[in-house]
C-alpha cells in the first residue's frame, strides 16, 4: 500500500513538473512573439498570463490592457487585509486558484445564482447581474471586483462607486461582448477607483480569472522575496 502511495505521489510530482515546463515554454513563446511591450515588470506578468489563458495577442496590442496607476499597490493592501473577491459569474470564481485563496486567507462572493437576487431582479425589473452587484456592496467595499462577462455588472459597480455606496480596492473590468462591453470599460477607465481593464470587445471569464490568478501569484512572490 505504501509503495502504491509513493508511486502515486511520484507520478503526481512528474505531472506537476511537466505542467510547469509547458507553462514556462508558453511564456517564453509569448515573450519572443511580443518583443517590446511598454508594460512594467508586474503589469507584464498579468498581461502575459491573460495572453496565456486566451492565446490572444491582441491583449498586448490593439485591445491593450490598461492599469490605473494605483491598481497594484491598492490590491496588494487589500489582499494583506484579507479582503473578499466578488465576481460577476460563477465561471470567473471557479477559475481563481483555490490554493492561493486558501494560503492567503481570502474570501469570495458571487451572488448571480442566488435565489433572492433572482427574485429581487424580477421584482425591480433589473438584470440579475446588476442586482447581484448591489447585493455584494458590503463584500466589495475595500475588496476586489472581477467582472468577465456582464457589462451591466460593471456599470452598476461604477454607479455604486459614484454614489459612495462602496469603494473597492480594485475593479477588474474586462467583460466580453458587442453590446455595452467596450463602453462600460471606457467608463471604468474614467472612474475614480483603481482598475484594470482593456480596450474593445474582447475579455471574458478566462481573462478576468487569469488577471486575478496573476495578482495572487505576484503577491505571494512578494511575500517570499
- Read off the pLDDT band of 22 (50, 70, 90): confident
Q: What is the pTM of this model?
A: 0.91
How large is the average pLDDT for residues 1-26?
A: 70
The three cell numbers of residue 207 are: 481573462
How confident is the prediction for the chain on average, in pLDDT? Answer: 93
Active-site positions? 52
Do the beta carbons of residue 113 and residue 89 sit within 8 Å?
no
Instruction: Write down the pLDDT at residue 15.
Output: 65
pLDDT at 157 over 60: yes
% of the chain residues with pLDDT over 70: 94
% of the chain residues with pLDDT over 90: 83
User: Which has more confidence, 146 or 222?
Assistant: 146
Do the beta carbons of residue 55 and residue 37 sit within 8 Å?
no
Do the beta carbons of residue 132 and residue 113 sit within 8 Å?
no
- Gyration radius of the chain over CA positions: 18
- Read off the pLDDT band of 17 (50, 70, 90): confident
Domains of the chain: 62-224 (3.40.50.10230)
Find how far residue 170's CA is from the centre of its chain.
Answer: 10
- Read off the pLDDT band of 75 (50, 70, 90): very high
What strands lie across the sheet with 65-67, from one edge to the other? 65-67, 195-198, 170-173, 144-147, 84-87, 107-109
Instruction: Write down the pLDDT at residue 202.
Output: 96
pLDDT at 78 over 60: yes
Lowest mean pLDDT among 3-7, 17-21, 30-34: 3-7
CB-CB neighbours of 175 under 10 Å: 31
pLDDT at 177 over 90: yes
Instruction: Write down the pLDDT at residue 6.
Output: 54
C-alpha span between 217 and 46 (Å, rounded):
10
How large is the average pLDDT for residues 116-123?
A: 96
Question: What is the DSSP-derived secondary structure letter of residue 186?
Answer: H
What is the three-class DSSP state of 103? helix
Question: What is the DSSP-derived secondary structure letter of residue 56?
Answer: -
Distance in angstroms between the alpha carbons of the first and the last residue of the chain? 39
Instruction: Write down the pLDDT at residue 35.
Output: 87
How large is the average pLDDT for residues 186-206?
A: 97
Instruction: Write down the pLDDT at residue 21.
Output: 85
Do the beta carbons of residue 199 and residue 64 sit within 8 Å?
yes
C-alpha span between 42 and 47 (Å, rounded):
9
pLDDT at 76 over 90: yes
Do the beta carbons of residue 205 and residue 89 sit within 8 Å?
yes
Amino acid at each position: 500500500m505504501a509503495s502504491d502511495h509513493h508511486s502515486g505521489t511520484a507520478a503526481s510530482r512528474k505531472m506537476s513538473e511537466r505542467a510547469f515546463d509547458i507553462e514556462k515554454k508558453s511564456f517564453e513563446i509569448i515573450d519572443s512573439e511580443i518583443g517590446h511591450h511598454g508594460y512594467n515588470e508586474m503589469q507584464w506578468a498579468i498581461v502575459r498570463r491573460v495572453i496565456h489563458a486566451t492565446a490572444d495577442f491582441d491583449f498586448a496590442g490593439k485591445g491593450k490592457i490598461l492599469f490605473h496607476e494605483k491598481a497594484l499597490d491598492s490590491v496588494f493592501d487589500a489582499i494583506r487585509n484579507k479582503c473578499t473577491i466578488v465576481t460577476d459569474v460563477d465561471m470567473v470564481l471557479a477559475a481563481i486558484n483555490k490554493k492561493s485563496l486558501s494560503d492567503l486567507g481570502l474570501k469570495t462572493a458571487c451572488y448571480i445564482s442566488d435565489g433572492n437576487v433572482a427574485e429581487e431582479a424580477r421584482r425591480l425589473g433589473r438584470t440579475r447581474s446588476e442586482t447581484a452587484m448591489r447585493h455584494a456592496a458590503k463584500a466589495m467595499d475595500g475588496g476586489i471586483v472581477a467582472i468577465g462577462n456582464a457589462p451591466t455588472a460593471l456599470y452598476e459597480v461604477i454607479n455604486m462607486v459614484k454614489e459612495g455606496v462602496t469603494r473597492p480596492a480594485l475593479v477588474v473590468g474586462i467583460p466580453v461582448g458587442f453590446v455595452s462591453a467596450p463602453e462600460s470599460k471606457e467608463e471604468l477607465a474614467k472612474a475614480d477607483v483603481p482598475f484594470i481593464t482593456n480596450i474593445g470587445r474582447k475579455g471574458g471569464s478566462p481573462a478576468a480569472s487569469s488577471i486575478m490568478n496573476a495578482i495572487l501569484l505576484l503577491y505571494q512572490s512578494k511575500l517570499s522575496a
